[in-house]
Structure 1
């Protein structure tokens, strides 16, 4: 597994957007033990510590078929070519269609990156790929039957 609870993200899961060495590669994720009524999944990555009023969405994938229980490293690459059939991604808060790695400002306390797998009670959400992650969040709450959270951290020294 590429990430672990409370552990620092590796370079691959950080961003090059601000000139750093990051690779903007979504981590490998695997899940099991979801409720029988699960019909699909969604994966989100959110930074609640971003210096904004409302945090920062790094990645949202949804309409993941119930038969899929693992995403390989890089499944969130721009364009979605590595997603399983039927799965979709939304644009993240940087306006990119795919996973955007961690990029806190130098000297900020380490940020938390909440990777969440949502088990849903519908095979597909009524959400277009033009929607925002916050809009999808309404559907995740309405159709969620379980969720698992993994929260690694990342900071850049001053």
Structure 2
């Protein structure tokens, strides 16, 4: 019996920035809008959300400029460790003292092992945690994708 392989090419990331509100607090969210047209949801059926706790906050729960820079460095370190063949970057959100990173994941065990290794090996300058759950219909991405009619009007 021959083994059949299918090669899926993830779309080149393209980002859209939104200024929004969540629970009456300001939110800044960057979305990889290339995933709007991604057809192979079944290959990345797991939703991963990483929360990084900010410490130096200014107005209405937003991080100071220095804190924002640090959160970006931590997020980039996490993203570079898990992204690639196993995970697709979905969004980065900042609100209410949190930096939230959202990904779509193919192999949850590999992502979990990588994140556990990061938590154990790297000196953490900020507390961070993650949760991952099976979401084959991409319902968790629905909130993020629902921002696009706001950017393009009701017919966008």
- TM-score, normalised on structure 1? 0.29
TM-score normalized by the length of structure 2: 0.29
Write 1 or 2 for the structure with the bigger share of strand: 2
Structure with max Cα Rg:
2
